[in-house]
Amino acid sequence: MEFLQPPSLAEALAAKAANPDALPIAGGTDVMVELNFARRRPPILLDLTRVPELAGWSLQDGRLRLGAAVTYAELTGERDGRSPVAHGLGRLLPGLAMAARTVGSPQIRNRGTIGGNLGSASPAGDCHPSLLAAGAEIEVASSRGARLIPIDGFFTGVKRSALAPDELITAIWITRPSGPEQFAKIGTRNAMVIAVAAFGLALHPGRRSVGTGIGSAAPTPVRAREAEIFLAAALEEASLWDTGGALKESVVTEFGTLVGAASRPIDDVRGTAAYRRHALVVLARRTLAWAWTDYQRSGYQRSGHSGPTGSAGTVAEEG
């Protein structure tokens, strides 16, 4: 086995182009398990931890660009001091921060990266439901150039993605949320669990739509499109985006039912298909109730404008 450690993105892309079967490694929290147990013997390990272009994040014209090497701990802000809520990323992307908070343990969150989570493309990847709900785009690059892949076109099968053999994941682009986000995950304990089922929800008052993401309950992470359309229509019809009025119980129930219907779970060691579907229905109802309470508390409906201005981030910043 060879070990390549390119010091720049250009060199990393050249190495991947020359060696499409090289296995990228960043935090190592997936790759090293496979190596330690001799499940995988790639001819080349391509270490991305020295590529400066993959590190860090920035806010560009209302969109967040997260470098692929941003760690779960950076998403949660857990090492930034005693009041992580006051810090950047967790506050800007609450749904993703909630999801990152459920990953592994502190040691794993210190090391594992969002790009690695996507690269592994596990149906149980913890970031995926929140990225789906947020409508993220995945920036990938090769020596041929760069392209953006919408997140709901990124996952193509169990642990398979739209990434070409010569491409590397370079960044994740997310429009700054205009409303509340929630995430919930079922597991046997709070730490160190692979999700039995997970659900991410984002309310987008800026564009009057709803985003969802289901984890661990289909061959790939998936959106619950009918649930999104149903809820957006129900909020519109009752003018709830403007009034922030109470959600009808029947709307919450139907939303949960549609989310459950969008799943395609299987029986495995972590749970049965029936349990997963039931859990998703409950998670969808709960996260909607939480998110709607967040929305009402945000004061969005009292801010005086007759409708959403489309300027991203007003709710989050005022909250």
Partner 1 sequence: MRVTATVNGVQHEADDVWPGESLLFVLRDRMGLPGSKNACEQGECGSCTVYLDGVPVCACLVAAGQAQGRDIVTVEGLAGNDGSLHPVQQAFIEAGAVQCGFCTPGLLVAAHDLLARDPDPADADVREALAGNLCRCTGYEKILDAVRLAAARLRGSGGAGA
Q: How far is the CB of 123 from partner 1 (least distance, A)?
A: 19
Residue closer to partner 1 by CB (options 32, 274) is 32
Cα separation, 16 vs 194, whole angstroms: 30
For partner 1 (CB under 8 A), the number of binding residues is 31
Q: Which of 12, 13, 24, 29 binds partner 1 (CB under 8 A)?
A: 29
The 8-class DSSP code of residue 222 comes to B
Q: Is 190 among the residues that bind partner 1 (CB under 8 A)?
A: yes
Q: Select the span of 33-41, 177-185, 230-238, 242-250 touching partner 1 (CB under 8 A).
A: 33-41
Residues in Cβ contact with 177 at an 8 Å cutoff, skipping those fewer than 6 apart: 92, 93, 94, 95, 134, 202, 204, 312, 313, 315, 316
Burial class for 42, CB neighbours closer than 10 Å (0-12, 13-18, 19+): middle
CB of 236 to partner 1, least distance (A): 40
Among 24, 47, 171, 196, binds partner 1 (CB under 8 A): 47
Subset of 135-164 contacting partner 1 (CB under 8 A): none
- For the CA atoms of the chain, what is the radius of gyration? 20
Token couple for 24: 């990228």
Can you tell me which of 27, 77, 119, 123 binds partner 1, judged by CB under 8 A? Answer: 27
For the window 52-81, what string marks contact with partner 1 as x by the rule CB under 8 A?
Answer: ---------------------x-----x--
Q: Among 5, 120, 143, 253, which residue interacts with partner 1 (rule: CB under 8 A)?
A: 5
Among 60, 105, 250, 306, binds partner 1 (CB under 8 A): 105
Residue ranges of alpha helices (H) inside 23-148 are 31-36, 72-76, 88-92, 94-101, 106-111, 114-120, 128-134
Between 107 and 311, CB nearer to partner 1:
107
User: How far apart, in Å, do the first and last CA atoms of the chain sit?
Assistant: 51
* Distance of alpha carbon 105 from alpha carbon 190, whole angstroms: 9
Of 15, 16, 28, 216, the residue at the interface with partner 1 (CB under 8 A) is 28
Q: Reduced to 3 states, what is the DSSP secondary structure of residue 210?
A: strand
User: Is the Cβ of residue 32 or residue 246 nearer to partner 1 in the bound state?
Assistant: 32
Count CB neighbours of 40 within 10 A: 11
> What is the distance between the alpha carbons of residues 150 and 137, in angstroms, rounded to a whole number?
4
Q: Which stretch binds partner 1 (CB under 8 A): 14-22, 107-115, 231-239, 268-276?
A: 107-115
Identify which of residues 48 and 252 has a Cβ nearer to partner 1 in the complex: 48
Q: Which residues bind partner 1 (CB under 8 A)?
A: 1-3, 5, 25, 27-29, 31-33, 35-37, 41, 45, 47, 49, 73, 79, 82, 104-108, 110-111, 190-192
